[in-house]
Amino acid sequence: MLAAQLLRLPGKRKVLVIEPRAELGRGEAYSAVELGHTLNGNAARMSVDPDNADDLTQWLTEYIAAGGWPQSHQQAVPISELFPPRGIFGLYARQRLAEAQAKGALNGSTVEHIQAEAVDLQSDADAVHLTLSDGQQLQGAFAVLATGMFPAARTPQTQSSGLNAAALDPWDVAAMRQLDPQSTVLIIGSGLTMVDAVVSLEQAGHRGPIEVFSRHGLLPHVRRQPPAWVDFLADDLSIRTPRQLMRELRRHCRQAMAEGIDWQAPLDTMRAHIGRLWHQATDVQRRQFVRHVRPWWESHHHRSPPLSAELVARLHGEGRLRIHAASFKGLVPGSGNGVSICLRRRGEAQTCVVSGAALINSSGIEYDWRRVARPLPQQLLARGLVQPGPLALGIAAQVDGAVLGADGQASSRVFAMGPPLRGMWWESTAVTDVASQAKALAARLVQ
């Protein structure tokens, strides 16, 4: 998205995107190939164009009319309310980048895909110097850390419990087809990654028990399309603390339900204010939110697409899928052909052991760069070019995305956007969030 914004602006510039995958525009989330792995938001919420909220809806309309995604009729809703497969969203992102490339070419601007991993970055008064995994050295005027998310299931961790080595990838349907269809599968985590894992198991033909363990045992709510609600946060700027926010939000949700309106309507009005509320909060207030509110925030705000939610609800109703409030304490060695894990159930002091044929790590995203055992995050932290963000969420930066070094000074050449700025804005992962950041950062870099 940043490359597309840079290419659309007047002037001549060269953009290098360092990405080990074979294609640009897909990243971690949109490299999925199974039709059952859909977006968590409907088309009206997922435009990559910050100036046109209907951009994806318009693209999908043309795509479906041309014969693409014939299964779309199964959702039986207007195109704006469809939840497209992530692989199709990746096609959309790639096409919008290609269009930006064509426009940029008129000004002499180019974008080049360097298929490698960035492993080191240094910055001086004149330039930034990048080292790649193949030994290549690159130099530029600016570097932008658009690293996206580090899924816990696919991210080597510096303090590893060995969980990933023993676990199946939540999106690896082929590996799941190797399981006994009637076997018991254990899943750590009950958020949206767990929902994806259940979809993967279903598509792989698994029909056995699924045991899900998370600290609070909360499932994501299903995403619905509620009507508009009054923007109560715009009308009352005195609401500043998590406690005030939760009290007022509950009041509006109760009022909505009393009027026969979906409680998700008041919740969705908060979207535009999350960054402001989080940014102006004190560290104490942020810690209170993370410790006491976060699990419920995640389950209510990061909601599941309807088809996936229907599958989870059906399996839960059949008794095949069970949710347990329990903390993962480690792997138990010597489990033979299966896997055994040590758990402490919520409210109990003693641990217990649970066994199954396979284990899936669905514990979500690793935002703490100190725990991510990838070369670039480790080198940036070691060199002091970046420092952990608030509450160790991502990295610290100024409002314009300029990263803060260990000395607290803002870099004039290294910037960040998207999930690395989680500590700055709390919600910094959604497509619309990143699209707005891309537009602002592109303008800043061109200046």
Residue 31: the pLDDT is 87
**CA distances, 392 to each of 276, 283, 396, 434 (Å):** 19, 11, 9, 20
Question: pLDDT tens across 301-346, in order?
Answer: 999 999 999 999 999 999 999 999 999 999 998 767 899 999 999 9
Selection from 356, 363, 389 nearest residue 398 by Cα:
389
Residue 335: the pLDDT is 65
Residue 242: the pLDDT is 81
- Write the burial class of residue 22 (CB in 10 Å: 0-12 exposed, 13-18 middle, 19+ buried): exposed
Selection from 178, 174, 179, 196 nearest residue 187 by Cα:
196
> How far apart are alpha carbons 56 and 257 in whole angstroms?
31
Domains annotated for the chain, with CATH where assigned, are: 2-152+367-446 (3.50.50.60), 163-221+303-361 (3.50.50.60), 232-301 (no CATH)
- The token pair that represents 355 in the structure block: 């066994």
pTM of the model: 0.93
Below-50 pLDDT ranges, the chain? none
Selection from 200, 7, 16 nearest residue 104 by Cα:
7
Selection from 386, 375, 377, 381 nearest residue 135 by Cα:
375
Q: Bridge-partner residues for 352, per DSSP?
A: 343
**In degrees, to the nearest 5, what angle opens at C-alpha 204 toward C-alphas 42 and 165?**
95
- Write the burial class of residue 291 (CB in 10 Å: 0-12 exposed, 13-18 middle, 19+ buried): exposed
Q: Which residues contact 78 (CB under 8 A, 6 or more apart)?
A: none
- Write the burial class of residue 126 (CB in 10 Å: 0-12 exposed, 13-18 middle, 19+ buried): exposed
Q: Which residues contact 373 (CB under 8 A, 6 or more apart)?
A: 155, 156, 157, 158, 160
Selection from 149, 142, 138 nearest residue 374 by Cα:
149
Helix H, strand E, coil C: the string for the chain is CHHHHHHHCCCCCEEEEECCCCCCCCCCHHHCCCCCCECCCCHHHCCCCCCCCCHHHHHHHHHHHCCCCHHHHHHCCCHHHCCCEHHHHHHHHHHHHHHHHHHHHCCCCEEEEECCCEEEEEECCCCEEEEECCCCEEEECCEEECCCCCECCCCCECCCCCHHHHCECCCCHHHHCCCCCCCCEEEECCCHHHHHHHHHHHHCCCCCCEEEEECCCCCCCECCCCCCCCCHHHHCCCCCCHHHHHHHHHHHHHHHHHCCCCCHHHHHHHHHHHHHHHHHCCHHHHHHHHHHHHHHHHHHHCCECHHHHHHHHHHHHHCCEEEEEEEEEEEECCCCCCEEEEEEECCCCCCEEEEECEEEECCCECCCHHHECCHHHHHHHHHCCCCECHHHCCECECCCCEEECCCCCEEEEEEECCHHHHHHHCCCCCHHHHHHHHHHHHHHHHC
> How far apart are alpha carbons 441 and 335 in whole angstroms?
51
Q: Do residues 201 and 193 make contact, with C-beta atoms less than 8 angstroms apart? A: no
